[in-house]
């Protein structure tokens, strides 16, 4: 993908230009779009145990429900129950996620353009319908945007984590 093609979509007046980049894709993002220092960064972190539990649950649900699997449902919909999961042997996956978080958090610390927020502060690690207004307002302010409450008709279908 040529760099000029990507640049054509960046910084267009009246548009929010946003990239959601998972840790392993940071190097590709920088190769295509330029150094992280040139962008405002919202850095979302989450307890590695909760990340892995969520991944394992999504894998089990996808296996159980096939093409009917969705991560989110409209409030008016009745999501199916989660498929049973086993957490035996997940320590290796937890260590991998923790290692990725440590490596990229260390990398991001050298930039001044980073707003870090934890998943747990967004959700209280409970099922939610929307991000708490106080956190959403701070994130948008960091991005230079005004806060306006949006109506949402989606619900998070995850479960609380111990």
b (16+ CB within 10 A) / e for 107-129 = ebeeeeebeebeeeebbebeeee
**pLDDT tens digit sequence for 130-157:** 567 778 788 888 888 777 765 555 455 5
Whether the per-residue pLDDT at 5 is higher than 70: the answer is: no
Lowest-pLDDT range of 12-21, 25-34, 133-142: 12-21
**pLDDT tens digit sequence for 59-97:** 999 999 998 888 877 777 888 899 999 989 899 999 999
58 versus 9: the higher-pLDDT residue is: 58
83-92: long-range pairs with CB below 8 Å, 24+: 83/57, 84/60, 85/53, 85/56, 85/57, 85/60, 86/56, 87/53, 87/56, 90/52, 90/53, 90/56
- 102 pLDDT band (50/70/90 cuts)? very high
Note the pLDDT of residue 49.
93
Q: What is the mean pLDDT of the chain?
A: 78
Note the pLDDT of residue 95.
96
**What's the whole-model pTM score?**
0.69
């Amino acid at each position: 993908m040529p760099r000029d093609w990507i640049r054509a979509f960046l910084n267009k007046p009246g548009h929010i230009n946003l990239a959601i980049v998972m840790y392993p894709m940071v190097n590709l993002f920088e190769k295509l779009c330029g150094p992280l220092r040139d962008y405002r960064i919202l850095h979302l972190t989450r307890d590695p145990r909760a990340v892995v539990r969520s991944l394992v649950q999504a894998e089990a649900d996808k296996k159980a429900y096939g093409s009917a699997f969705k991560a989110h449902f409209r409030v008016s919909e009745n999501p199916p129950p989660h498929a049973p999961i086993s957490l035996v042997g997940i320590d290796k996956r937890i260590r991998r996620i923790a290692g990725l978080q440590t490596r990229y958090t260390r990398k991001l610390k050298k930039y001044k353009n980073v707003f870090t927020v934890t998943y747990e502060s967004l959700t209280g690690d409970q099922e939610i319908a929307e991000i708490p207004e106080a956190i959403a307002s701070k994130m948008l302010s960091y991005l230079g945007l005004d806060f306006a409450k949006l109506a949402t008709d989606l619900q998070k279908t995850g479960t609380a984590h111990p």
